[in-house]
């Protein structure tokens, strides 16, 4: 039969809009979170990170929000550009393993129309 792959949720926005990509993480003990951007044919590229003692961190055009109560992470991209089109992954570090174990979510595809 036909194999079923991961169905990536897709967010379509117009150039100049603000984008919000959401992520639910699994491990309540995770203490470090990263957002990665992956363009076609390339490896994941670091965007921004946040530690569990913070609930908000801002970078250039990007903001990450962390809500530990509901285990939710979001990435906000201001004034989205066509070059932002990519798949975005959140990753959590399972700190209770005692070492670095970065576990990735399934990803969200962002499509930016000019």
Partner 1 sequence: DAGVIQSPRHEVTEMGQEVTLRCKPISGHNSLFWYRQTMMRGLELLIYFNNNVPIDDSGMPEDRFSAKMPNASFSTLKIQPSEPRDSAVYFCASSSEGVNEKLFFGSGTQLSVL
Q: Which two tokens stand for residue 77?
A: 């991209």
34 scored as a contact of partner 1 (CB under 8 A): yes
By CB under 8 A, tell whether 10 contacts partner 1.
no
CB of 37 to partner 1, least distance (A): 11
Q: Does residue 1 interact with partner 1 by CB under 8 A?
A: no
Separation between Cα atoms, residue 77 and residue 75, nearest integer Å: 7
How many residues line the site for partner 1 (CB under 8 A)? 29
Q: Which stretch binds partner 1 (CB under 8 A): 9-17, 26-34, 68-76, 78-86?
A: 26-34
- 49 near partner 1 (CB under 8 A): yes
40 Cβ neighbours under 8 A, 6+ residues apart:
86
Pick the binder of partner 1 from 14, 45, 67, 81 (CB under 8 A). 45
Interface ranges with partner 1 (CB under 8 A): 3-6, 31-32, 34, 36, 41-46, 49, 51, 89, 93, 95, 97, 99-107
């Amino acid at each position: 039969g036909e194999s079923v792959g991961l169905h990536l949720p897709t967010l379509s926005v117009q150039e100049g809009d603000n984008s919000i990509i959401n992520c639910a993480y699994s491990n309540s003990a995770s203490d470090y979170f990263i957002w990665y951007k992956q363009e076609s044919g390339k490896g994941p590229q670091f965007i921004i990170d946040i530690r569990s003692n913070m609930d908000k961190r801002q970078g250039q055009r990007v903001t990450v929000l962390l809500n530990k109560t509901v285990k939710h992470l979001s990435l906000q991209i201001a004034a989205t550009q066509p070059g932002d089109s990519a798949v975005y992954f959140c990753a959590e570090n399972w700190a209770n393993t005692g070492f670095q174990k970065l576990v990735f979510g399934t990803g969200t595809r962002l499509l930016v129309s000019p």
